[in-house]
């Protein structure tokens, strides 16, 4: 019965006015009230499209012709842009991208969190929206009998061979090209997802933007690397600036990139980079923001919203390797950081020592378990900072925060929808969202980071 009410069928051609963009950056239009998502279309454009998939309440269509293009449309510079699943907004001017991200945050807060009486500031952009990524992750595979390394095509695990990515640091590209050529020369077999055979799964490159240091991580299906000494010698010869060559072993049939075992094949265990006045040691598996220029902008805004005067006790509930914690420690009386990953806590302690910071303490565990223990020990947080993964905060952590009643909460978010959900819980628990600052950490993509200042309402 419902199917009869849907005004489109697969392969039907329609004319659409694109009203806005969806959360993946795809165009959103309506045909006789029925919503169609059209990748590559921009708000304000009139297009001709072909319906490719129909669901109960919405469908997908392929852009066939631009009848009236947007003034924000620009030619994407990447030659594999239409096939690659990495970027989704290269066809939108950078000013248009910044407006879209502000709008995306505003709409999510209103629709999901019913948070409407808050100021969402214009997105803070970056002067150079290309070549910003300090980490490269390239899957390797086989195509027509040869080794390929690149990115997955949209919606698939088919690898598009590539030698250059315009959002990655040039040195990252150089390393991938060199490692690929060396692997071919040495006859290294790429990993095959279907059979589970083959050695080389991924190559990860980490670049110290400010130090120039390079780490190469070879992710292998098994511990034994044929011709290992030649690999190392060739990598060092072709990439003289490399300071660290690491092997990570992942023999599981999984889409997860890293395995549990990591060992240094040559050089240092870590590389170093700076954010502001702070220096950080970065290991193969430690999380470090991929856009170091905008990370400083992000963290300075978090520091502003924390409102520190030097007398406050701060809890950083997802502290990672201590990046935000150490920024806060410069202005706070004491910072407590908690993180579930033991290696990250080791890095955080090392980074505190590296920067001569002795008023930051780091503990392994989940925030929702550790923070109540701290409260029983008499630790009272004036400010709590959270920087959760895309799934947002655990509800138990939000309840713990409400019970601890800090004066201020600073929420750093990489997902506007889970942010909106969590803000609703905090507002219902006696807090007020004061201001939201989107920061463009990921130009050319639909992702947006936000920093949110939240105050307790005194009753």
Q: Which residues form the catalytic set? A: 414
User: How many residues are present in the chain?
Assistant: 459
Q: Cα 71 from chain centroid?
A: 29
Residues sharing a CB contact under 8 Å with residue 68, sequence separation 6 or more, in sequence order? 45, 46
User: Is the Cβ–Cβ distance between 345 and 335 less than 8 Å?
Assistant: no
- Residue 164 CA to residue 400 CA, distance in Å, equals 46
The pairing of strands 58-68 and 119-120 is unpaired
User: Is the Cβ–Cβ distance between 100 and 89 less than 8 Å?
Assistant: yes
- Residue 54 CA to residue 392 CA, distance in Å, equals 30
User: Is the Cβ–Cβ distance between 450 and 392 less than 8 Å?
Assistant: no
Nearest to 381 by CA among 365, 367, 360, 401: 401
Tokens in use for 219?
Answer: 């992710």
Residues sharing a CB contact under 8 Å with residue 54, sequence separation 6 or more, in sequence order? 6, 8, 9, 10
Bridge partners (DSSP) of residue 66 are: 47
- Residue 351 CA to residue 348 CA, distance in Å, equals 5
Q: CB neighbours (10 Å) of residue 38? A: 26
């Amino acid at each position: 019965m419902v199917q009869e009410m849907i005004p489109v069928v697969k392969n039907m051609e329609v004319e659409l006015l694109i009203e806005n963009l969806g959360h993946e950056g795809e165009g959103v239009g309506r045909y006789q009230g029925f919503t169609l998502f059209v990748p590559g279309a921009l708000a304000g454009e009139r297009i001709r499209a072909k319906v490719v998939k129909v669901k109960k309440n919405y469908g997908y269509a392929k852009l066939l012709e631009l009848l009236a293009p947007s003034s924000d449309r620009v030619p994407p510079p990447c030659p594999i842009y239409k096939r690659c699943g990495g970027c989704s907004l290269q066809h939108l001017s950078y000013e248009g991208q910044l407006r879209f991200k502000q709008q995306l945050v505003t709409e999510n807060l209103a629709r999901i969190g019913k948070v409407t009486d808050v100021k969402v500031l214009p997105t803070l952009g970056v002067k150079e929206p290309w070549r910003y990524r300090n980490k490269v992750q390239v899957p390797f595979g086989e195509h027509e009998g040869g080794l390929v390394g690149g990115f997955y095509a949209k919606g698939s695990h088919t690898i598009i061979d590539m030698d250059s990515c315009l959002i990655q640091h040039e040195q990252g590209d150089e390393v991938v090209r060199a490692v690929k050529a060396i692997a071919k020369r040495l006859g290294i077999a790429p990993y095959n997802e279907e059979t589970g055979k083959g050695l080389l799964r991924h190559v990860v490159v980490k670049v110290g933007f400010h130090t120039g240091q390079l780490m190469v991580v070879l992710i292998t299906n098994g511990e034994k690397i044929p011709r290992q000494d030649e690999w190392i010698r060739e990598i060092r010869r072709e990439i003289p600036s490399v300071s660290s060559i690491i092997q990570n072993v992942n023999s599981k049939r999984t889409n997860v990139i890293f395995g549990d075992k990591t060992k240094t094949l040559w050089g240092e265990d870590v590389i170093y980079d700076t954010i502001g006045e702070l220096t950080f040691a970065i290991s193969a598996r430690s999380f470090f923001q991929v856009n170091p220029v905008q990370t400083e902008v992000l963290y300075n805004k978090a520091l502003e919203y924390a409102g520190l005067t030097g007398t406050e006790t701060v809890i950083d509930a997802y502290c990672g390797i201590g990046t935000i914690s150490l920024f806060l420690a410069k202005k706070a009386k004491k910072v407590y950081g908690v993180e579930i990953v033991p290696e990250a806590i080791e890095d955080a302690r090392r980074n505190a020592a590296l920067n001569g910071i002795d008023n930051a303490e780091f503990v392994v565990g989940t925030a929702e378990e550790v923070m109540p223990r701290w409260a029983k020990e008499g630790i009272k947080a004036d400010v709590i900072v959270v920087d959760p993964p895309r799934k947002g905060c655990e509800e138990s952590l939000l309840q713990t925060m409400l019970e601890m009643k800090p004066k201020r909460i600073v929420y750093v978010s990489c997902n506007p929808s889970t942010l909106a959900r969590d803000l609703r819980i905090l507002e219902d628990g006696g807090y007020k969202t004061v201001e939201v600052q989107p920061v463009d950490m990921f130009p050319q993509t639909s992702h947006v980071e936000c920093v949110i200042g939240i105050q307790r309402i005194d009753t």
